[in-house]
């Protein structure tokens, strides 16, 4: 086989194929970036309930992995992706996995972020949102 006869074509084609599929990884990376940026700008507190979240590791809040999942920081789309919301800085906030899921698992269309936030805050005040808070979260100063 002459030098360079097959390999350049092959790698060119591979390069071409890669160009066709950048969307999912790129948007995932962007979302991860946005989540971290919002976590910082919200001082590590949930958009809905104002309590601390962890971003990379449950130990940030002194939590054990078993009880940590609801308190993980997630990227919450104010306008849901299924309703045409974009992975854009003005459409993404940082929220607990639990608060995020509770907004979207309610029957019917998701409530607006403002009304859901008001509802969560009322429930938090009356102790009905988080029924039991791990010590790492309960101890965190407001
Ligand atoms: Zn929350």
For the stretch 100-121, pLDDT in tens is 999 988 778 889 999 999 999 9
Ligand 1 center from residue 50 Cα (angstroms)? 6
CB atoms within 10 A of CB 97: 17
- Residue 96: strand, helix, or coil: strand
Q: Which residues surround ligand 1, an ion (CB under 5 A)?
A: 46, 48-49, 96, 99
Indicate whether 13 pLDDT > 70.
no
Ligand 1 center from residue 74 Cα (angstroms)? 10
Ligand 1 center from residue 83 Cα (angstroms)? 22
Ligand 1 center from residue 125 Cα (angstroms)? 13
CATH architecture of 8-138: 2-Layer Sandwich (3.30)
Ligand 1 center from residue 116 Cα (angstroms)? 11
CB 44 within 8 A of CB 55: yes
Q: E strands within the chain?
A: 73-77, 92-96
Q: Which two tokens stand for residue 18?
A: 């890669």
> What pTM was computed for the model?
0.78
Check residues 46 and 24 and name the one with the higher pLDDT. Answer: 46
Indicate whether 5 pLDDT > 50.
no
For the stretch 53-78, pLDDT in tens is 999 999 999 998 888 999 999 999 99
Ligand 1 center from residue 49 Cα (angstroms)? 4
Q: How many helices (H) and strands (E) does the chain have?
A: 6, 2
């Amino acid at each position: 086989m002459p030098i360079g006869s097959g390999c350049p074509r092959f790698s060119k084609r591979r390069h071409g194929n890669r160009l066709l599929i950048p969307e999912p990884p790129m948007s995932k990376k962007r979302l991860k970036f946005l989540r971290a940026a919002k976590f910082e700008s919200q001082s590590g507190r949930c958009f809905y309930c104002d309590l601390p979240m962890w971003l990379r590791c449950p130990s940030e809040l002194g939590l054990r992995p078993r009880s940590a999942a609801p308190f993980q920081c997630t990227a919450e789309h104010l306008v849901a992706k299924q309703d045409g919301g974009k992975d854009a800085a003005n459409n993404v906030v940082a929220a607990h996995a639990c608060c995020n899921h509770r907004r979207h698992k309610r029957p019917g269309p998701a409530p607006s972020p403002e009304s859901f936030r008001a509802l969560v805050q009322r429930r938090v005040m009356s102790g009905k949102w988080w029924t039991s808070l791990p010590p790492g979260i309960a101890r965190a100063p407001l």
